[in-house]
Amino acid sequence: MDSFFTRYRNLLVLLAILLAQIVGLAVQVRRTGAGSNTLDPRDEPGVRLIRLWANALVSPPERLIHSSKLGAGYLWQNYLDLRHVREQNRDLQQTIDRLRLEQAALLEDARQGQRLQGLLDFQQKYIYKTVAAQAIGTSGSDQSRVFYIDKGADYKLDRDMAVITADGIVGKVRDVFPHTAQVLAIDDPTSGAGVILETTRIRGILRGNGAGQPQIVDLLADPRIQPGERVLTAGGDLVFPRGMPVGVVEKVVRDPERDSFIDVIVTPAAHLDRIDEVLVITSTQPRFSPQQQQDLATSEALKGSEAAAIKEQKKASEVMAERLPGLTDPKLPPDQQPLLDNSNPNPVAHPPQALHPDRFTPGAASGPAPATVPDSSAASKPEAGSKPSQQKPGQEKETTPDSGTTRPVPKTTPRPASSPGRQTTPRQAQPQQTQPQKDEPRRNP
Amino acid sequence: MSVLGADFRRDFEIRRYPFLVYGLVPLTALVLQAWLPRLLGPYAWFDLPLVVTVYFALGRRSPIQGTLMGAAMGLFEDALSHHAIGVNGIAKTMAGFLAASVGVRIDVENFTIRLMFIFVLSLLSSAIYVFVYRVLLGLDLDWGWFMALLTALGNSAIALVMFPLLDRLQLQD
């Protein structure tokens, strides 16, 4: 017997180790209701212990390497390579100004959206609190697309928290260790995220394929799905907030196993191969966070009035363009339209002030207020020679500011006296009002 | 090619290393395997733990030590992934055992043989991985043999550089 063990010692050790590992594997796999095998997403205590040990052994050197790299980079970027910083600062300041304008302009829409969501009892979740983290390592295998971040239970991270970058979603927290956490990327075959196509509003599930590309699976063939369409999170998976960028449709391929189904290959918005800094969403709430509210208030205070003025000016010029078809040339591109030409070669002189105003004096006429183009000069100073008495019954007068032309408009609904920025006539209805005027003679002052 | 008998060469050519080398080199391989893909992205076509396993198995010429080293490295790799623990363990256990067993019988000092050997073992390790995952566990696995081939080539290239460096760490009598 002794000689048997001595002779086959190597083989026996090999078999014993293989057997132990096979038994260990059998414990980790369970059978689903559909009859297929799957890995338990939540590790058994023993398995988790092994992962914890491996992580405790590998993470400190990884953090050390990462810190050294960061230190060297910090030294270079903040002390040695400071060229063009002033230019960058100026550019960034301009970008901030522009973004403030855009934010202030969007603020009202956001508030309106919130009010409407409140009416519909729809709970939109806003990102309330995030934790910034650095990616310090990977699994080392292209079959397991997970990576490790340098924040863990010490920063109150938990399983299934969404991990994002400024570009788009990255993945979700799969496991949390004391000082690190494992993140399952969206290009792993075992991941899953609810997504929606931006224009076609088709919903699906995003997961990775063998080549490491995210794809939307289990979709019925639909010719509307075209490359280039943006993919957003749908918000139904209770992991990712709704509306976050996921990527862009790269191509549509047939499902090799099912004829009528397709797979939509997605180019991820976040650079999944070069993940450095990420944000872990630790809390979402159905309202703006205090920080976001403060930012909005700052934007409103700093640039809100300016943005509102620009918005009103744009609206006024749009209305003016529609009411003056002669000033828009359909053959020219929008930026070369004569309406946009500010250099007026023949400025119109304003009428002198009347010494003895009477009822024919411009601006002194009573009666229904005319619908005017929302331009301050036009609203307050009618052009020389405009004669309210020439208007026909059943028609209201419309005054265009630059030419001083007065055109009769068929009376439809009584409109209140317009003021700058208050013109609310629907744009599409406008041509129907102005069309009959082409056949009527224009009245020159 | 040496004409020495297997047993004689085994006694004569067993390599010994400082105790720290047995711990630090595998740990460094595991850390680099986990860290380098962050730099190289999708071009990380190598498996450093397998290269180290094969090196020590060939140098020590002990199937038991090769088996244990392979099992430990594989289990660590599995523990860092989110897959079942043991798939890589089984693959590298077999690789370590085979490397030590075959290393007793052939001359592994020849660079060409070393490269071919590590290339074949890399492919074999990949095949065992797929077998365990798909057949033994019955799980779905998207697998590309082209990537496995690239990894095998990468392992051979790394072995070409790493083996002479590690040879310098061995104890001289």
Domain ranges of chain B: 6-168
Mean pLDDT of B88-104: 92
Burial group, residue A152, by CB count within 10 angstroms (0-12, 13-18, 19+): buried
CA A350 – CA A86 distance, rounded (Å): 48
Determine how β-strand A261-268 pairs with β-strand A245-254. antiparallel
Instruction: Report the number of secondary-structure helices (H) and strands (E) in chain A.
Output: 8, 17
Pairwise CA distance, residues A364 & A119, whole Å:
46
A53–B79 CB contact, under 8 Å:
yes
Of A29, A36, A212, Cβ closest to residue B84: A29
CA distances for A116 relative to A113, A120, A128, A288, A307, angstroms: 5, 6, 21, 15, 23
Give pLDDT, residue A230.
93
pLDDT reading at B150 higher than 80: yes
> Is the pLDDT at B11 greater than 60, yes or no?
no
User: Tokens in use for A133?
Assistant: 């983290």
Window from A384-393, B57-66, B79-88 with minimum mean pLDDT: A384-393
Query: Do B93 and B72 form a contact (C-beta atoms < 8 A)?
Result: no
- What is the C-alpha to C-alpha distance for residues A72 and A70, in angstroms, rounded to an integer? 5
Cβ <8 Å between B86 and A57? no
A8: distance to nearest CA of chain B, Å? 11
Residues of chain B with C-beta less than 8 angstroms from the C-beta of A174:
82
Helix (H) or strand (E) holding A319: helix A305-323
For B102-166, the DSSP string reads HHHHS---SHHHHHHHHHHHHHHHHHHHHIIIIIIS-------HHHHHHHHHHHHHHHHHHHHHH
B101–A17 C-beta distance less than 8 A: no
Q: Which residues in chain B have their CB less than 8 angstroms from residue A210's CB?
A: 141-144
Partners of A65 on chain B (C-beta within 8 Å) are 31, 35
Please identify every stretch of chain A with a pLDDT value under 50, giving residue numbers as ranges. Answer: 366-445
Q: How confident is the model over B7-15, as a mean pLDDT?
A: 58
The conformation of residue A339, written as its DSSP 8-state character, comes to G
Q: Which residues contact A7 (CB under 8 A, 6 or more apart)?
A: none
pLDDT at A329: 60
Alpha-carbon distance values, B81 to A12, A116, B47 (Å): 29, 45, 14
- Polymer length in residues for chain B: 173
A213: closest CA among A166, A181, A253, A173?
Answer: A253
Residue A7: per-residue pLDDT: 83
The sign one gets for the Cα dihedral A294, A296, A300, A303 is positive
Our CA-based measurement puts residue A283 at a distance from the nearest CA of chain B, in whole angstroms, of 25
CA atoms of A370 and A363, how far apart (whole Å): 11
Task: Provide the pLDDT for residue B122.
Answer: 95
Q: Closest to B84 (Cβ–Cβ): which among A36, A39, A148?
A: A39
What are A196's strand-pairing partners? A203, A232
Across the interface, of A10, A53, A211, the residue whose CB is closest to B63 is A10
pLDDT digits (tens, 9 = 90+) for B113-122: 888 889 999 9
Q: Return the pLDDT at A82.
A: 77
Report pLDDT for A303.
60
Instruction: Quote the Cα angle for B83-B80-A65, to 5°.
Output: 155
Residue-level pLDDT at B49: 95
Beta bridge pairs of residue A264: A216, A252
Q: Which chain B residues have a beta carbon less than 8 Å from that of A146?
A: 81-82
> Is A204:A218 a contact under the CB 8 Å cutoff?
yes
Q: Nearest residue on chain B to A26, judged by CA atoms?
A: B137
Residues in chain B within 8 Å Cβ distance of A171:
none
* Cβ within 8 Å of residue B106, ≥6 positions away: B113, B117
Please say whether the beta carbons of B81 and A141 come within 8 A. Answer: yes
How far is B63 from B57, CA to CA, in rounded Å? 7
For A227, the token pair is 């490359």
Contact (Cβ atoms closer than 8 angstroms) between residue A261 and residue A239 = no
ipTM for this model: 0.88
CB spacing of B34 vs A62 below 8 angstroms:
yes
| Residues A77-104 as b or e (16 or more Cβ within 10 Å = b) | eeeeeeeeeeeeeeeeeeeeeeebbebb
DSSP structural state of residue A388: G
CA distance A361 to A388: 10
Predicted confidence band of residue B126 (pLDDT cuts 50, 70, 90) = very high
**Cβ(B29)–Cβ(B52) under 8 Å?**
yes
